[in-house]
Structure 1
């Protein structure tokens, strides 16, 4: 039986990071359980202390399939390069200038949402490189536009 995959982010501000990635991936915040109209109402009904309301968040695909992304608050900050990162497949099948222009447009959209650019790698067919842009989310987690 196939397993479902959830990707978990350790972070300082789960609500803000979930909102960023929901916009970046065309995902949505996971709706509250049952008949609750909001997460605030659900958490209050569950007796969760108010200072813990932003201790976790999750996003799911708005349409189609994909992994659930879970964001959990941790006390320590990010200190080193990620050992695992997401590649946002923004320009599959595109090459050269068209590919890089598409990646640049997406980089600009994500920068407006709070991401920062780390570096750009130019296409180099002799090195089997088609070009990509490495970015950082609002908490500094690296990801690539591919």
Structure 2
């Protein structure tokens, strides 16, 4: 079974977008932020979700301004279950990968991440 982990925003400049949301929400940007990838520091003690910003281009097959991140202990089994429910894989699932991107039946992308 998958559980909610956080939100990922598509952005043209992940670092700038993360800096905006960090200031807006009173949070800090995690070390290592770049235009390609940035995260707000987790604050599980306050029940705040993980928020990630990923750089995307117009050419991405499924561009959402925002997508859900789900986490699972069994990436292959859970991705197969979600496909049976109507999801569609945008990439393959392999033991070495840390996640797979899928779409819901309406075409909205989301990531399933190995715990």
Instruction: Indicate the TM-score class for this superposition, using the shorter chain for normalisation.
Output: 0.3 to 0.5
Higher gyration radius (CA): 1
Whichever structure has more strand as a proportion of its residues is 2
- Higher relative contact order structure (alpha carbons within 8 Å, sequence separation ≥ 6): 2
TM-score under structure 2 length normalisation: 0.43
TM-score under structure 1 length normalisation: 0.34
